[in-house]
């Protein structure tokens, strides 16, 4: 797993010459409804073991949560289950709001 900063993720998403990653948001539904990174997919942390087979283990995937701790745990779990090309968003959606999208609602 690689740690990725909000700025680097923003650059990646803006790069039309590079395939965009899967944005896997592992927060709870109420958190996701409050704020999210455009294009992300909600998969609450507790559903990952049952839903892992829905994901492509070779696709570049950025795991996202509120501050980066839950997403780190999910990325470790996925790595242990054969996934490669995983990224953890450092600081989570909170850091994204601070550094990339300051008008994003916060909680």
**φ and ψ at 62, to 5 degrees?**
-105, 120
Q: Which DSSP category does 21 fall into? A: P
Tokens 């455009």, located at residue: 38
Cα 6 from Cα 95, distance rounded (Å) = 7
Which residue in 24, 65, 74, 97 is the catalytic one? 65
Read off φ and ψ for residue 53, nearest 5 degrees: -65, -15
- CB distance 13 to 106 below 8 Å: no
- Is position 65 annotated as part of the catalytic site? yes
Which of the residues are catalytic? 65
């Amino acid at each position: 797993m690689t740690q990725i900063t909000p700025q680097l993720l923003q650059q990646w998403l803006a790069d039309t010459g590079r395939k965009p990653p899967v944005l896997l948001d592992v927060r709870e539904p109420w958190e996701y409804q409050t704020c999210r990174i455009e294009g992300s997919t909600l998969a609450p942390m507790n559903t990952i073991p049952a839903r892992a087979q829905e994901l492509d283990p070779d696709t570049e995937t950025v795991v996202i949560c509120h501050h980066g701790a839950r997403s780190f745990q999910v990325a470790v779990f996925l790595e242990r289950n054969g996934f490669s090309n995983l990224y953890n968003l450092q600081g989570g959606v909170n850091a994204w709001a601070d550094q990339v999208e300051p008008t994003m609602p916060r909680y």
